[in-house]
Chains A and B, each alone.
Chain A
């Protein structure tokens, strides 16, 4: 058996993945083990878990694959600093320190990490190109035998976006867009301008966009981005400062867009909403043009998406509706964490030349449930030894009916069962569930449980076979990759955009509360939702709960939000879940087959 360990580290969201004879066995992000959000350090916890899950012995690691080529990145950094001259004086030492101390020494760091965990050096260490890692993560596990590959992110070595073709076990990258012209960095710059953290606040900007009007769209296209027909573009770098690494935007950017970046704790105004909507529109246009061009170049009817920008499920939804491809599959861990898996698969297929089994229309991500279970010992015994009152519900059907009853009564339930999800989305095993029909649930979850901004939407989970009755989407969406309209919802009548001033308060909570929908807790202000479809094969526990809830209420939809609070990673273990449960206003906690009532704790 050939064991390949994939690693991504030292930028953001470090992760490890294990591929055995081409089969995806385990994958996890380091943040879940260290409890540091987006932890970039060498993923010791994730590596240790993956090797244990695969039953790897001391000499058992054949190949270690790393997700980018550090030397190419180093050359890019050197050339960038050479190009910008004196303005990089302050940040150059920090960049060099990081490069010279750690990033150029990856094989050394890997050997040292494995040694500290009691493993021998791997037979080989190989380095994939960053966008090849994204492309491999998107194509190899996809349900297609052949597909057009689109990757979009901030920056790899030099590439920022790429177009390729995957067929059988081979991937060919045909075209690429290069640094500093980058969709990811463009979106991150606007994330910074709207007062959110770069590399983690992009999804907040996406959620804010429907509250705005595209007031700045023309300004972006006239002054900042020179967009061509094939989707390639050139950025006017006078509006940005990310080359030097000091900050994302320049003073000129502030002059063009009515002010400096919002301070993180200051109120959100209409300007931030309009910035969000404008850049979202521009990014969607760019992606659509690239997709049309890629469709012509590749001649494929299916597409797979990878890279951090592929987590923009609003853009994915538009691509699915308005784009040229008949089917689209998005890697659920599309960001850099997923690259750990991508480079491992690349090593198996491309470096070692192994064939890829026929896809048969089913992806090989195994529901993205590739992480560890909540506990390695029986949870009931642990709870008893700690004298925590709990109810054991061994029968899965009875358990589902009990939970459905509680949800129908308005309870909020934390679920920590089975293997943890790989990627940023909680898909039912580390989730908080609630009744989507409640008009007050969205506010309650945001403010009292998740402790996060009031405007943030929640995602629905729906039985796959009932999805089309509730949402305007064709086909399954098991990984929350697409946003689609909610049927029978009406959006509030917007004010005339010309009447709103950039400095006007956004009143996000009021506007979200005015939505009319049969499932208001999961309907965003524009009448859309980020849909997760649930089938019995991938998510049997969640399928049973949804079925029982539908039997009770006639509604096959629930709220599904990640089991964490603001600023923390999603829970991994039973202990993490219990701590989070007790620190919030959640009503019930399900850990494997044990149900805990908060009132009794």
Chain B
């Protein structure tokens, strides 16, 4: 529950940062980052390699 509340805060921080710094690309990859967070937590190993290919 505590992590969920902070996840909401993190998401709003990402949006605010993107707007403040005109880093719209961050908004585009935010869903990927969110997915990566879930998958890193779940697998702890190979997913980051796959994510890197997106860059």
Residues of A within 8 A of B (CB): 71-72, 75, 78, 81-82, 88-89, 92-93, 96-97, 100-101, 104-105, 107-108, 111-112
Q: Closest CB of chain B to A124's CB: distance in Å?
A: 12
Partner of A82, one of B10, B44, B55: B55
User: A94: nearest residue on chain B (CB-CB)?
Assistant: B48
Which B residues lie within 8 Å of A112 (CB)? 2
Q: Offer 30 A-B interface pairs, CB within 8 angstroms, sorted by A.
A: A71-B13, A71-B14, A71-B17, A72-B17, A75-B17, A75-B21, A75-B23, A78-B55, A81-B55, A82-B55, A88-B52, A89-B52, A93-B52, A96-B36, A96-B40, A96-B51, A97-B44, A100-B36, A100-B37, A100-B40, A101-B41, A104-B10, A105-B6, A105-B10, A107-B6, A108-B2, A108-B3, A111-B2, A111-B6, A112-B2
Q: How far is the CA of A71 from the CA of B44 in the complex (A)?
A: 21
The 6 closest A-B pairs by CB, nearest first: A93-B48, A108-B6, A92-B52, A96-B48, A100-B37, A82-B55
Residues of B within 8 A of A (CB): 2-3, 6, 9-10, 13-14, 17, 21, 23, 26, 29, 33, 36-37, 40-41, 44, 48-49, 51-52, 55
Which B residues lie within 8 Å of A104 (CB)? 10
Contact flag A75-B3 (CB < 8 Å), given A97-B40, A107-B9: no
Which A residues lie within 8 Å of B33 (CB)? 100
User: B37: nearest residue on chain A (CB-CB)?
Assistant: A100
Q: Closest CB of chain B to A395's CB: distance in Å?
A: 54
Which B residues lie within 8 Å of A81 (CB)? 52, 55
Which A residues lie within 8 Å of B44 (CB)? 97
User: B6: nearest residue on chain A (CB-CB)?
Assistant: A108
Q: How far is the CA of A96 from the CA of B33 in the complex (A)?
A: 10
Which A residues lie within 8 Å of B3 (CB)? 105, 108
Which A residues lie within 8 Å of B40 (CB)? 96-97, 100-101
Which B residues lie within 8 Å of A108 (CB)? 2-3, 6
Q: How far is the CA of A100 from the CA of B9 in the complex (A)?
A: 14
Which A residues lie within 8 Å of B48 (CB)? 92-93, 96-97
User: B9: nearest residue on chain A (CB-CB)?
Assistant: A107
Q: Closest CB of chain B to A96's CB: distance in Å?
A: 5
Which B residues lie within 8 Å of A111 (CB)? 2, 6
User: B50: nearest residue on chain A (CB-CB)?
Assistant: A93
Which B residues lie within 8 Å of A96 (CB)? 36, 40, 48, 51-52
Number of interchain pairs (Cβ within 8 Å): 48
Decide if B49 touches A93 in the complex (CB within 8 Å).
Answer: yes
Which B residues lie within 8 Å of A97 (CB)? 40, 44, 48
Q: How far is the CA of A111 from the CA of B10 in the complex (A)?
A: 14
Q: How far is the CA of A72 from the CA of B18 in the complex (A)?
A: 10
Q: How far is the CA of A278 from the CA of B35 in the complex (A)?
A: 48
Which B residues lie within 8 Å of A100 (CB)? 33, 36-37, 40
Which of A101, A108, A112: most chain B CB closer than 10 A?
A: A108
Q: How far is the CA of A263 from the CA of B40 in the complex (A)?
A: 35
Given contacts A92-B52, A97-B40, A101-B41, 9 further A-B contacts (CB under 8 A): A71-B13, A71-B14, A75-B23, A75-B26, A100-B37, A101-B40, A104-B10, A107-B9, A108-B2
Q: How far is the CA of A81 from the CA of B48 in the complex (A)?
A: 13
Which B residues lie within 8 Å of A71 (CB)? 13-14, 17
User: B36: nearest residue on chain A (CB-CB)?
Assistant: A100
Which A residues lie within 8 Å of B14 (CB)? 71
Q: How far is the CA of A386 from the CA of B23 in the complex (A)?
A: 63
Q: Closest CB of chain A to B39's CB: distance in Å?
A: 9
User: B45: nearest residue on chain A (CB-CB)?
Assistant: A93
Q: Closest CB of chain A to B8's CB: distance in Å?
A: 11
Which B residues lie within 8 Å of A78 (CB)? 29, 55
Q: Closest CB of chain A to B33's CB: distance in Å?
A: 7
Which A residues lie within 8 Å of B9 (CB)? 107
Which A residues lie within 8 Å of B29 (CB)? 78
Q: Closest CB of chain A to B15's CB: distance in Å?
A: 11
Which of B17, B37, B51, B52: most chain A CB closer than 10 A?
A: B52
Q: How far is the CA of A105 from the CA of B2 in the complex (A)?
A: 11
Q: How far is the CA of A89 from the CA of B46 in the complex (A)?
A: 12
Q: Closest CB of chain A to B21's CB: distance in Å?
A: 8
Q: How far is the CA of A82 from the CA of B41 in the complex (A)?
A: 23
User: A112: nearest residue on chain B (CB-CB)?
Assistant: B2
Which A residues lie within 8 Å of B21 (CB)? 75
Q: Closest CB of chain A to B20's CB: distance in Å?
A: 10
Which A residues lie within 8 Å of B6 (CB)? 105, 107-108, 111
Q: How far is the CA of A70 from the CA of B41 in the complex (A)?
A: 19
User: A106: nearest residue on chain B (CB-CB)?
Assistant: B6
Q: Closest CB of chain A to B14's CB: distance in Å?
A: 7
Which B residues lie within 8 Å of A107 (CB)? 6, 9
Q: How far is the CA of A92 from the CA of B40 in the complex (A)?
A: 13
Q: How far is the CA of A112 from the CA of B5 in the complex (A)?
A: 12
Q: Closest CB of chain A to B55's CB: distance in Å?
A: 5
Q: Closest CB of chain B to A78's CB: distance in Å?
A: 7
Q: How far is the CA of A71 from the CA of B49 in the complex (A)?
A: 21
Q: How far is the CA of A105 from the CA of B8 in the complex (A)?
A: 11
Q: How far is the CA of A100 from the CA of B46 in the complex (A)?
A: 14
Q: How far is the CA of A477 from the CA of B3 in the complex (A)?
A: 47
Which A residues lie within 8 Å of B26 (CB)? 75
Q: How far is the CA of A89 from the CA of B2 in the complex (A)?
A: 33
Q: How far is the CA of A52 from the CA of B44 in the complex (A)?
A: 37
Q: Closest CB of chain B to A98's CB: distance in Å?
A: 10
Q: How far is the CA of A108 from the CA of B55 in the complex (A)?
A: 28
Q: Closest CB of chain B to A532's CB: distance in Å?
A: 43
User: B29: nearest residue on chain A (CB-CB)?
Assistant: A78
Q: How far is the CA of A101 from the CA of B52 in the complex (A)?
A: 16
User: B33: nearest residue on chain A (CB-CB)?
Assistant: A100
